[in-house]
């Protein structure tokens, strides 16, 4: 955490920090990683409203001191998660990243790590109403953390809120201090450095979350030479989640490139327009080969168009759509 904070502070000219006074350990966030440009001003305003530069500095300094003391203390390698037990995690902070999507930071003891494999997700559970027999009705949904897999003391979920969605609107209603029940992790594809020479990713909306886990694992490991290309589809430029983070990663890492397409382009938009086409896949994805893996994650309509959706029993199902048409085989494609 100290490293994260030092990096945040050093980058303060490009970054903004958000502070809430009640939980100093987990409330300083390098929001340039998260905020789309349209929301920067809102975040900046809230920073101004919440704290002065002096208060930020004091909080940051006390955090570094406590982290240094902490690093000298016994640090457990225990995971905060349990695969078979629902554990309540406290919400510390919410950050708006687009009109309908927020990042939620949940916290636990700094002595524990999250302990995820890349790539994996978590299950969330909430009691929403009652069944006809009067027993509690539980809603369970998976979400993919976008924080580092070994983060100590916190994890971040990026959740799109559907007004009629049971779990997403429940998460959307949480206030700092409220808790959410979580169980996991649930392993998806097990990523190993250099397991393939080329990885292509096709994501829509919040389908970016599992891709981010893998992109971060690759670019943070200098021995991993995998080339990654991402096609990321959204409704409008405003809806592109974590665009600044993706752009910075692409600028800094020659082995990562990203191409955006939006259904509703603005007049100054210079990415792709409309749904993902065969031409975009041909130009943007590595060619079919034993050394190629294509990862797909997005809403059902996009999945059907690109690769066919997963089977009803959640196994991979048959490959269809554009990827099949272009000549990829089932074993070259993974559907999240
Ligand atoms: C492995 C996995 C990881 C996931 N990770 C994330 C994540 O990191 N972030 C995230 O936001 N979501 C993620 N999801 C989706 C998430 O689990 C829920 O399905 C989603 O939040 C909707 O749940 P809900 O209970 O709010 O909506 P529900 O009550 O299930 O649905 C109500 C209505 O919401 C709308 N709706 C629901 N889901 C979709 C959708 N995908 N596309 C379009 N409309 C929809 C529909 O109109 C639907 O009728 C993931 C899903 C899987 C399978």
Residue 87: how many CA atoms within 13 Å on its side-chain side?
17
* Ligand 1: residue whose CA is nearest its atom 41: 299
Tell me, in angstroms, the distance from the centre of ligand 1 to residue 206's CA.
9
Residue range 231-263, pLDDT digits in tens: 999 999 999 999 999 999 999 999 999 999 999
Q: What is the pTM of this model?
A: 0.80
Pocket of ligand 1 (CB under 6 A): 121, 139, 141-144, 158-160, 162, 164-168, 206, 209, 299, 336
**Residue 160 annotated as binding site:** yes
CA dihedral of residues 172, 173, 175, 180 (deg, nearest 10): -80
Tell me, in angstroms, the distance from the centre of ligand 1 to residue 111's CA.
32
Tell me, in angstroms, the distance from the centre of ligand 1 to residue 325's CA.
28
Sign (positive or negative) of CA dihedral 66, 71, 74, 75:
positive
- The band of 27, judged by pLDDT with boundaries at 50, 70 and 90, is very low
Share of the chain above pLDDT 70, in %: 77
Tell me, in angstroms, the distance from the centre of ligand 1 to residue 166's CA.
9
Name every residue whose Cβ is closer than 8 Å to that of residue 157 and which is 6 or more positions away in sequence: 103, 104, 106, 122, 124, 143, 144, 145, 146, 171
The domain 198-335 is placed in CATH, from the list 3.40.50.300, 2.40.50.100, 3.40.50.80, 2.102.10.10, at 3.40.50.80
**Residue 6 annotated as binding site:** no
* Ligand 1: residue whose CA is nearest its atom 51: 142
Q: Which atom of ligand 1 is nearest to the CA of 314?
A: 53
Kind plus residue range of the DSSP H or E element containing 204: strand 198-204
pLDDT above 80: residue 49: no
Tell me, in angstroms, the distance from the centre of ligand 1 to residue 213's CA.
18
Q: How far apart are CA 197 and CA 289, in angstroms?
A: 10
Q: In CATH terms, is domain 87-187 a member of 3.30.499.10?
A: no
CA-CA distances (angstroms) from residue 295 to 118, 210, 218, 272, 276? 13, 9, 14, 20, 14
pLDDT above 70: residue 206: yes
- Site to substitute for ligand 1 among 147, 168, 183, 187, most atoms within 8 A of C-beta: 168
Report the range of poorest mean pLDDT among 30-39, 99-108, 255-264: 30-39
Q: Which atom of ligand 1 is nearest to the CA of 188?
A: 1
Q: How far apart are CA 291 and CA 123, in angstroms?
A: 32
Tell me, in angstroms, the distance from the centre of ligand 1 to residue 46's CA.
29
DSSP at 165: -
pLDDT of residue 76: 62
**Residue 141 annotated as binding site:** yes
Residue range 269-279, pLDDT digits in tens: 999 999 999 99
* Ligand 1: residue whose CA is nearest its atom 18: 141
Residue range 158-197, pLDDT digits in tens: 999 999 999 999 999 999 999 999 999 999 999 999 999 9
- Site to substitute for ligand 1 among 128, 143, 212, most atoms within 8 A of C-beta: 143
Give the residue extent of every domain in the chain: 2-72, 87-187, 198-335
Tell me, in angstroms, the distance from the centre of ligand 1 to residue 141's CA.
8
**Residue 285 annotated as binding site:** no
């Amino acid at each position: 955490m100290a490293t994260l904070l030092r990096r945040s502070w050093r980058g303060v000219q490009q970054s903004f920090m958000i502070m809430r006074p009640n939980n100093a350990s987990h409330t300083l966030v390098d929001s340039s990683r998260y905020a789309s440009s349209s929301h920067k001003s809102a975040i900046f305003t809230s920073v101004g409203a919440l704290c002065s530069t002096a208060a930020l500095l004091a909080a940051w300094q006390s955090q570094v001191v406590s982290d240094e003391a902490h690093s000298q203390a016994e640090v457990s390698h225990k995971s905060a998660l349990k695969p078979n037990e629902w554990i309540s995690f406290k919400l510390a902070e919410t950050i708006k990243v687009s009109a309908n999507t927020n990042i939620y930071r949940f916290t636990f003891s700094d002595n524990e790590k999250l302990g995820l494999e890349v790539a994996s997700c978590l299950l969330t559970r909430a009691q929403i109403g009652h069944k006809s027999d009067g027993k509690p009705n539980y809603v369970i949904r998976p979400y993919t953390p976008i924080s580092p897999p070994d983060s100590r003391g916190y994890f971040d979920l990026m959740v799109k809120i559907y007004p009629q969605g049971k779990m997403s609107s429940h998460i959307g209603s949480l206030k700092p201090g409220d808790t959410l029940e979580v169980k996991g992790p649930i392993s998806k594809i097990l990523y190993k450095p250099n397991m393939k020479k080329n990885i292509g990713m096709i994501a829509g909306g919040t389908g970016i979350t599992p891709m981010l886990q893998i992109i971060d694992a690759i670019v943070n490991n200098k021995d991993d030479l995998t080339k990654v290309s991402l096609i990321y589809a959204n409704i409008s430029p405003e809806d592109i989640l974590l665009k600044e983070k993706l752009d910075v990663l692409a600028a800094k890492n020659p082995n990562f490139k990203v191409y955006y397409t939006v259904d509703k382009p603005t007049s100054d938009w210079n990415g792709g327009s409309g749904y993902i086409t065969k031409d975009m896949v041909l130009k943007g994805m590595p060619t079919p080969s034993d050394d190629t893996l294509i990862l797909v994650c997005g809403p059902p309509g996009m999945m059907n168009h690109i690769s066919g959706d997963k089977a009803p029993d959640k196994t991979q199902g048959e490959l269809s759509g554009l990827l099949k048409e272009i000549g990829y085989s089932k074993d070259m494609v993974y559907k999240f």
